[in-house]
Amino acid sequence: MDTQSLLAEAKAKFAHNSAKHYLQEKFSNKLLIAEQGGLWRADPNTINFLNCFDTETLVLLDIYNNPVEVNRTDLLNKLIEIYTKVMHEWHTEWKELETKR
Amino acid sequence: MSRGALLFAFNSSKVDYYAMAEYTAKRINHFLNIPVSIITNKDSIPNTTNYKFDNVITMSADDSNFFRDTVWFNKGRYQAYDLTPYDETLLMDVDYMVNSDRLLKVFEVMSDYACHESTAFMMVPDAAYELLGPNSFPILWATIIGFRKTKKSEHLFQCMKMVQQNYNHYANIYGFVPEIYRNDYSLTIAHRILNGHYPCIDEILPWNLMHIGLKTKVYPNFKDPLNTEFTIVYDNWKRNKIKKEYITIKDIDFHVINKDIFREIIT
């Protein structure tokens, strides 16, 4: 028996909340990046914070709370690149989920 | 600098852990592109096999861990430090389903060793973390332990040995029931001792260990042995009735707590 027949027979319903949770688990990890001696999350907070400065270097806390001196522009560009790529993939899978019933 | 994965597999009367290790090893080779060594006993090695581990390290199984009339061969994990052939090792449970290259990040983030503290249960978004004892702190999970050959890692595994050998004593101190030996508990206690009983986050992996828990079934969507797409069906109890719910997952690693479910997936 294939999975579609099995689901139909069991009258199983698609669990949107669980699927949403699974997607968050899957993609939030992909936003992590080890760069310039620290571990970073490519999230809006970090990107905005890096964008607030105009200095070449900056010291900020990585996700392990270690202060790391970074080249601001290089890290910013890298985080934007990761963020854009991962969020696009996340959105694509999310749209697929929305069509399921 | 050598890098590889290490699996422990001792067959019990009910579970063929060696077969599970072979299945997991093939996926590690494919998705992580690293070699896999196995620590096992001679009785577990099958006469014929189509998979060749990087190294097969044999030792006698410790059969002193009884629980519900079954022997659990999970003692001796502390020997991983001395027995690993690699400079950087991913020590893994054989029931961890590798579906992506996520675990390569462990090598990037760890300084001495790294393991999971936070967890998530597939289909149960609000599941609570497991605590070491009542009113205690969350446990660390020995499902995945990344480690380098450093002094601190060596001390971690020496501490795990100490906890295993004095398990009832630590159960008494931390207030858990010592009816079965768990590597998760010895890892948790060893990590605490090593860090001066301070909740140090430097060795904690910054993402959740995804569990497949009880009341859950897993169906591979394709027969391919390297399939990464699964349908998860969950018995959700509501108003004394079971409502079956499902989701489809793709390219995400997960740990299967129930060995029977893992065996069903691989057969």
- The DSSP code sequence of B142-171 is EEEEEEESSHHHHHHHHHHHHHHHTHHHHH
Tell me the domains of chain B and their CATH numbers: 3-211 (3.90.550), 213-266 (no CATH)
Q: Which of B108, B244, B249 lies at the smallest CB-CB distance from A10? A: B244
Q: pLDDT-derived band of residue A1, with 50, 70 and 90 as boundaries?
A: low
B142, B115 in Cβ contact below 8 A? yes
Residue B242 confidence (pLDDT):
85
Q: Which of B254, B263, B266 is nearest to B220 (CA)?
A: B266
| CA separation for the pair B61, B59 (Å, rounded) | 6
Cβ–Cβ contact A12 with B under 8 A? yes
User: Would you give per-residue pLDDT tens digits along chain B (267 residues)?
Assistant: 999 999 999 998 889 999 999 999 999 999 999 999 999 999 999 999 989 999 999 999 888 887 777 788 888 999 999 999 999 999 999 999 999 999 999 999 999 999 999 999 998 888 888 899 888 889 999 999 999 999 999 999 999 999 999 999 999 999 999 889 999 999 999 999 999 998 888 899 999 999 998 889 999 999 898 999 999 999 888 788 888 999 999 999 999 998 889 988 888
Closest CA in chain A for residue B203: A64
| CA separation for the pair B131, B116 (Å, rounded) | 13
| CA separation for the pair B94, B142 (Å, rounded) | 12
ipTM of the complex: 0.86
Q: Which of B202, B207, B243 lies at the smallest CB-CB distance from A29? A: B207
Angle in degrees, CA B111, B35, B86, rounded to 5 = 45
How many C-beta atoms lie closer than 10 Å to residue B138's C-beta? 15
Q: Which of B221, B234, B252 lies at the smallest CB-CB distance from A3? A: B221
Q: Which of B187, B216, B193, B190 is nearest to B117 (CA)?
A: B187
Looking at every residue in chain A, the average pLDDT score rounds to 91
DSSP state string for B227-249:
--EEEEEEEEEETTEEEEEEEEE
Tokens 């990585």 correspond to A62
* pLDDT tens string A29-61: 899 999 999 999 999 999 999 999 999 999 999
B81, B8 in Cβ contact below 8 A? no
How many C-beta atoms lie closer than 10 Å to residue B127's C-beta? 13
pLDDT tops 70 at residue A90: yes
| CA separation for the pair B67, B75 (Å, rounded) | 13
Q: What is the mean pLDDT of residues A86-94?
A: 96
Closest Cα in chain B, distance from residue A59 (Å): 19
Q: Do A13 and B105 touch (CB under 8 A)?
A: no
Tokens 């069903």 correspond to B264
| CA separation for the pair B96, B255 (Å, rounded) | 4
Q: Do B233 and A22 touch (CB under 8 A)?
A: no
Q: How far is CA A74 from CA A21, A47, A55, A87, B15, in A?
A: 32, 12, 12, 20, 51
| CA separation for the pair B164, B170 (Å, rounded) | 9
| CA separation for the pair B20, A79 (Å, rounded) | 38
Residue A101 confidence (pLDDT):
61
Q: Which two tokens stand for residue B63?
A: 């059969």
Chain A residues touching B122 at Cβ < 8 A: 18, 22
Could you tell me which residues are beta bridge partners of residue B121? B124, B211
A55, A33 in Cβ contact below 8 A? no
Residue B29 confidence (pLDDT):
98
| CA separation for the pair B206, A34 (Å, rounded) | 12
| CA separation for the pair A59, A37 (Å, rounded) | 12
Chain A residues touching B219 at Cβ < 8 A: 3, 6
